[in-house]
Every structure is written in C-alpha cells, then in structure tokens.
Amino acid sequence: MNGFHDASYNVAAVIATLALCRTLIEKGILAREDAVQMLLDEAVAHAIQAEAQTQEPGVSTTTIDANRQCAEILKLLAEKF
C-alpha cells in the first residue's frame, strides 16, 4: 500500500467514527460526553500512531501527515460536539 491509500483509510475511519457517534447520540444510546471522550481517544490514537511512524523507516510523509491531520480534525470535532 502507498501513502495515498493509508491516508484514505485514515480519513474514512474518521468519517465512520463521526457518523457512528452522531447516530448513537441521536438514538439516545450514547451520551454526548461519552461521544466526546471517544473522539478524543481516537485523536490521541492517531497522534501516537503518527509519532510512532516518524521512527519507522520507509513510512511516507503523506501517511504521517494524514494521521496528524486526522488527530486535529477529531480534536476539533470533539470541541464542537
């Protein structure tokens, strides 16, 4: 897989996580606070993954940047929830 595919999967995961949170909140299954915590946890996971990938040889900068951007997007979404 190349960096473009890695980035695409990361963005798809962010979109799926957000859609899941919104649906569960609308159905009353998940509390808003729990959704915010889930988004923040996912943001931390993406940030940690980006930092770990900087240590690995051969990982494209596109993949690392995508993980960092996903972390920032998730953090922003959690703040807006």
Its pTM stands at 0.79
- The count of structural domains within the chain is 1
pLDDT at res. 37: 93
Contact in structure between 13 and 72 (CB atoms under 8 Å): no
Question: Which residue type, as a one-letter code, is found at position 61?
Answer: T
Average pLDDT per block of 10 residues along the chain, 81 residues long: 72 87 93 92 90 87 86 89 79
CA atoms within 13 A on the CB side of 30: 18
Domain residue limits at 40? 3-80
